[in-house]
Chain A
Amino acid sequence: MIGSDSGLDLSINRVRAMVRRYWYLLRSSSPRVLDLIYWPPVQMLMWGFLQLYVSQNGGPFARASGVFIGAVLLWDILFRGQLGFSISFLEEMYAHNLANLMMSPLRPVEFIAALMIMSVVRLLIGMIPVTLLAILFFGFNLWSLGFALAAFFANLILTSWAIGIFVAGLLLRNGLGAESMAWTIMFLFLPLTCVYYPVTVLPDFLQYVAWALPPTYVFEGMRALLIDHVFRADLMLEAVAFNVVLFAAASLAFLKLLQSARAQGSLLQTGE
């Protein structure tokens, strides 16, 4: 059964159709665009000013003034990447359009590809202005990280897609009753992936959990770069390896949940 859903016979045209659908929606609603843009600067300013205050007391933060700002910007990539994926999916449920899509020739792999593309589009709309504001307010230029930023971004977006795919499966299976997962699941990662502090701060048993999560390697890598001025390629490679496992597990879970949704008739009733 999974075989029929997982067909990799991907049509670029159908992916384009779905991307157009979400682009039309985004373009038609200025509150949706505003929602993408306003929150990241609020977060960045708050953490940036906190960083300024803390750095006055010396220590590693005095040596690397961008650690908190870098952390909050990278966290936003992770959080907003997943949210961008999940919100596009939720739009179909809000619109009662899911059955139309599921009964069309659109394949799950094409649907997911379109959601991935839209998550990047939504992320860029939200992130580009905030990175420019970070330069303006704190002289922190995320773009100057160059190749390291590309490695951080690739790993974080992969994790966000994996979580987004898993949440989409939950929504297919459980309808809008699982909606809150789409908004909150990433916060589970916030303390465990050590966004704002090193892994060594955690109790020993939680360190094992933290090192099983790909974003932990990215945030440790960011601290190594900003504090010690060293790009840790080893951490990035480990993150990729964990991401591959996470992505495969999420895809498998999605297909199982879709299969279960078809068996339970959940695709007919996508309400609460």
Chain B
Amino acid sequence: MDAQNTSAIAVDRLVKLYKGVAAVDGISFRLAPGSITGLLGGNGAGKTTTIAMIMGLVTPTSGTVTVLGMQMPKDRYRVLHRMNFESPYVALPMRLTVRQNLSVFAQLYAVADIDERIAGLAADLELTEFLDRATGKLSAGQKTRVSLAKALLNRPEVLLLDEPTASLDPDTADWVRGRLDHYRREQGATVLLASHNMTEVERLCERVIIMKKGRIEDDDTPQRLLDRYGRETLEEVFLDVARGRGEHREAAQ
């Protein structure tokens, strides 16, 4: 069995050009089933475009993406029911209640026993008291929990998260990270997390891929990155990469 088929996600020489400009420039990586990986990078690094190509929302210019053995976007309808996605930049309809929103998406994902699943998730994510409230009337933290509930409805084997704790206060963000980690361990799901938040990546991820200008600048465990760059925190590593200090050090060596 080749690596593409044994990986939960396999990205191979992926390129996305917009009007000749590379948003993603020939990246390759493989994610093992059950792993949690952070995709780090500044604004315009290509993180969101990469995730969108993995979800089949954006067509690559060249290269391939394979998810759970299926090629994206060609075979997306054979695999989308086994995946899900959460981002604060994609909202749920504000006028619908939380329960209505979740039940619509549960039906779209062909979730069995919808009422039971929604009740279970609501209890898990502390949403029970908000289930019959309009989604638009919730606080930012509550909305994030609703989006997370939507993302977990179908018990996805592959979960893609685009800055899942952006705009949350530190306490709520920490709570959300705890729930994500719990879900991943319980279900053995593969998680790819795009983030600016180094604390988040340090706490959750066993592997970090650092992107810059559409390319992968580094790819390793958090500890090995810290050792290699001689830094105390991932934030310092990130700044080294963003400002090109890593390249300078490599050149000096």
Report A's interface with B, CB cutoff 8 A.
1, 4, 7, 9, 11, 13-14, 16-18, 20-21, 24-25, 28-29, 91, 95-97, 99-107, 259, 262-265, 267-268
Contact status B58-A20, CB under 8 Å: no
Q: Closest chain B residue to A268 by CB distance?
A: B52
Report how far A259 CA is from B85 CA in the complex, Å.
Answer: 21
Contact status B77-A107, CB under 8 Å: yes
Is B242's beta carbon under 8 Å from chain A?
Answer: no
Residues of chain B contacted by A107 (CB below 8 angstroms)? 77
Report how far A262 CA is from B16 CA in the complex, Å.
Answer: 11
Residues of chain B contacted by A99 (CB below 8 angstroms)? 57, 85, 87, 90
- From known contacts A24-B100, A268-B52, infer whether A102 and B94 are also in contact, taking CB-CB under 8 Å: no
Taken residue by residue from 146 to 190, chain B's Cβ proximity to chain A (1 for < 8 Å, 0 otherwise) reads as 000010000000000000000000000000000000000000000
Tell me how far the C-beta of A111 lies from the nearest C-beta in chain B, rounded to whole angstroms: 10
Q: 9 closest Cβ contacts across the A-B interface?
A: A17-B107, A96-B91, A95-B93, A99-B90, A21-B104, A262-B59, A105-B81, A28-B95, A103-B55
Residues of chain B contacted by A268 (CB below 8 angstroms)? 48-49, 52, 57-58
Residues of chain B contacted by A20 (CB below 8 angstroms)? 100, 103-104, 107
Taken residue by residue from 98 to 123, chain B's Cβ proximity to chain A (1 for < 8 Å, 0 otherwise) reads as 00100111011110000000000000
**Given A4-B74, A4-B75, A4-B77, 19 more contacts at CB 8 Å?**
A1-B74, A17-B104, A21-B100, A24-B96, A24-B104, A28-B96, A29-B95, A95-B92, A96-B91, A100-B105, A103-B56, A104-B109, A105-B109, A106-B108, A262-B56, A264-B18, A265-B16, A267-B52, A268-B49
Residues of chain A contacted by B104 (CB below 8 angstroms)? 17-18, 20-21, 24
Contact status A265-B49, CB under 8 Å: yes
Tell me how far the C-beta of B38 lies from the nearest C-beta in chain A, rounded to whole angstroms: 20
Report how far A106 CA is from B106 CA in the complex, Å.
Answer: 11
Contact status B57-A96, CB under 8 Å: no
A selection of 7 A-B contacts at a CB cut-off of 8 Å is A21-B104, A24-B97, A96-B89, A99-B85, A100-B92, A105-B109, A262-B57
Residues of chain A contacted by B55 (CB below 8 angstroms)? 103
Q: Closest chain A residue to B23 by CB distance?
A: A265
Residues of chain A contacted by B16 (CB below 8 angstroms)? 265
Q: Closest chain A residue to B160 by CB distance?
A: A103
**A262 CB contact (under 8 Å) in B73, B94, B108:** B73
- From known contacts A105-B77, A107-B77, A262-B58, infer whether A25 and B108 are also in contact, taking CB-CB under 8 Å: no
Report how far A265 CA is from B21 CA in the complex, Å.
Answer: 13
Interface size class of chain B, counting residues whose CB lies under 8 Å from the partner chain: 35 or more
Tell me how far the C-beta of A115 lies from the nearest C-beta in chain B, rounded to whole angstroms: 15
Report how far A97 CA is from B87 CA in the complex, Å.
Answer: 11
Tell me how far the C-beta of B16 lies from the nearest C-beta in chain A, rounded to whole angstroms: 8
Interface of B, helix, strand, loop or mixed by DSSP:
mixed
Residues of chain A contacted by B110 (CB below 8 angstroms)? 11, 13-14, 105
**A105 CB contact (under 8 Å) in B80, B94, B95, B100:** B80
Report how far A104 CA is from B57 CA in the complex, Å.
Answer: 10
Residues of chain A contacted by B80 (CB below 8 angstroms)? 103-105
- From known contacts A4-B76, A99-B90, A104-B108, infer whether A25 and B95 are also in contact, taking CB-CB under 8 Å: yes
Is B22's beta carbon under 8 Å from chain A?
Answer: no
Tell me how far the C-beta of B157 lies from the nearest C-beta in chain A, rounded to whole angstroms: 14
Tell me how far the C-beta of A102 lies from the nearest C-beta in chain B, rounded to whole angstroms: 6
**B94 CB contact (under 8 Å) in A21, A95, A104, A263:** A95
- From known contacts A103-B57, A105-B81, infer whether A25 and B109 are also in contact, taking CB-CB under 8 Å: no
Report how far A181 CA is from B18 CA in the complex, Å.
Answer: 26
Is B32's beta carbon under 8 Å from chain A?
Answer: no
Residues of chain A contacted by B150 (CB below 8 angstroms)? 100
Residues of chain A contacted by B75 (CB below 8 angstroms)? 4
Residues of chain A contacted by B198 (CB below 8 angstroms)? none
Is B134's beta carbon under 8 Å from chain A?
Answer: yes
- From known contacts A99-B57, A105-B80, infer whether A21 and B109 are also in contact, taking CB-CB under 8 Å: no
Report how far A13 CA is from B111 CA in the complex, Å.
Answer: 11
Q: Closest chain B residue to A3 by CB distance?
A: B74
Contact status B90-A17, CB under 8 Å: no
